Homo-oligomer: A and B are copies of this chain.
């Protein structure tokens, strides 16, 4: 299957498979069936097989999948086998917390720069290791091109998010994770994923209301 034909939901699950496989590998498991892998992630066995089939066949009938092999294969598919550089713009509370978030590093992402236009924030240390300080926005473009950065995280207020996105795109970034509660306009060759925390909580809240109302009946 051509890589651009892989459904988005499949890509999301691939990431979950990898995490689960790594946990199983640590636990000393050598093979796993689609049923087992699915059960751990609340998915059907058919779903797991369909997802993996997008990238060729590497299961053994009657046995299942070899955990180590499959993990390595998925890692390659996702590109998680080589480090991918990331920059983060906006060193407010959320931005600073994300800069220190270990989860990105565990997935093979390398945060190479944190930027902000507020002079009070520039120079502040935002890494657990102490080797990352907030830099001026003036240094953004150079960093992106020198370190070949393709991914950017936007953690600025909604009012400046579009301007920041424009600068990142102009510098050469091709994928954005946007925490600002506003839609971004970007060229077609740039991917944006909006992470709108309030909207997500709103969704849970609505669902809770629905289930509560549904449960009231006789």
Contact = CB atoms under 8 A, between A and B. Distances in A.
A208 B183 contact: no
A195 B94 CA distance: 15
B40 A201 contact: no
Number of chain A interface residues as a range:
35 or more
A193 interface: yes
Contacts of A199: 12, 15-16, 107
Contacts of A205: 78-79, 84, 109, 150-151, 175
Contacts of A40: 183
Interface stretch (A24-32, A65-73, A161-169, A209-217): A209-217
Given A4-B214, A97-B93, A103-B197, A41 B183 contact: yes
Given A42-B183, A150-B205, A191-B204, 15 more contacts: A3-B209, A16-B196, A19-B181, A78-B206, A79-B205, A80-B202, A94-B98, A104-B198, A107-B201, A109-B198, A150-B208, A174-B211, A177-B201, A189-B215, A191-B208
Interface of A: 3-4, 6, 8, 11-12, 14-16, 19, 40-42, 77-80, 84, 86, 93-94, 96-98, 100-101, 103-104, 106-107, 109, 150-151, 153, 174-177, 181, 183, 189, 191-193, 195-215
